[in-house]
A = this chain, B = another copy of it.
Amino acid sequence: MNKKTTIYDIAKELNVTVSTVSRALSGFPAISDATRQAVFEAAKRLNYSPNKLASALKSGRTYIIGVIVPSVQAHFFASIIHSIEEGLKDSGYRIILYQSNESVASEINGVKTLLEAQVDGIMASLSLETEDVTHFEEVIKQNKPLILFDRVHEKLKVPTVTLDDFKAGYMATQHLIEQGYKNIAYVTTSHQIRIFNDRLKGYKAALADYNLPLNEDNIIFGGLSIKDGRFGAGKLIRSKNKPDAIIAADDFTALGVIKKLKEINETPPQIGVIGFANEAFSAYITPSLSTIDQHPNQMGAECAKLFLSTIQNKPSQKISNIVIEPSLVDRQSTGITE
């Protein structure tokens, strides 16, 4: 066998983590002398290349990546995390998570916490509150890969993985129009987050393409939650220009819309409803919820690939911005018979 010995082989030989080997070789202080000696002996025994040893000494990698998400409670983010883990499984990298809970203060703490935990890089999806992104500059300053996914920020010139949100908004609207709805309202967040703006732009573009009037009063800006969905729907059904369909900017908000419509006996598809994200519950509620699938598994897989290629390449390389295609999941809430 001609394969060169890697630090993975040493880790396997000693039944320790790749991180321990890396830390031992790079003189990290938290490693016991006994472990350090065992690692160096194994490195010698397995003919670990001195060049590689030098590079490991230099790199001081921990093989831990930090992932910051707004909330692990959203199926969408939980799925992304799961597929990042899958994508990194064979590389020796493991991930630790930090929740911002949609708070920018907590997100700032998250970046600090993960850097203090000596992670090799950070992947993040921004909180709804995040407008200033200077807290991420420390990651770049430390020469550690930073990858943003889903909720990104144009001021950070880093690799990104996003959905084509304009297309997602267009697709949801087009589906309702093709199902015969004519007066389509929209419930979304008041936060200036690009993905939600892009969806709204897609909605407006679809209305224009199909020669349907845009009624600004039928766009409700509030929060994204079951409660906000109920509130938005309540406002819309009392309006002079009552809509015959409602798009909600996420599935939780759509669920709130459905609950409100059921209460007033206008159960969808009588008034059509569509959401975004294809949350776990969307298929199981009654009526089942039509939604836009944002393919979190693909998004997570791309994040993992992007991280591995970034950490192996020179910083001068071209920055990748990967865009995932959304797809329609049509169910009962827009009149599809299952």
Contact = CB atoms under 8 A, between A and B. Distances in A.
Interface of A: 16-17, 19-20, 23, 29-30, 62, 64, 66, 71-73, 75, 78-79, 81-82, 85, 94-99, 101, 109-110, 112-114, 116-119, 255, 280-281, 284-286
Majority DSSP secondary structure for residues of A touching B: mixed
B116 A17 contact: yes
Which of A16, A98, A280 lies at the interface centre, i.e. has the most chain B CB atoms within 10 A of its CB? A280
B64 A117 contact: yes
A75 B72 contact: no
B116 A62 contact: yes
9 closest Cβ pairs, A-B complex: A286-B286, A72-B72, A117-B117, A281-B281, A97-B97, A73-B78, A96-B96, A284-B285, A94-B113
Contacts of A110: 94
Contact of A112 (B20, B280, B285): B20
B72 A78 contact: yes
Contacts of A286: 285-286
29 contacts: A17-B109, A17-B112, A20-B112, A23-B116, A29-B29, A62-B116, A62-B117, A66-B96, A72-B73, A72-B78, A72-B81, A72-B97, A73-B75, A73-B280, A81-B99, A82-B99, A82-B101, A85-B99, A94-B109, A96-B98, A96-B114, A96-B117, A97-B97, A116-B118, A117-B119, A118-B118, A280-B281, A284-B284, A285-B285
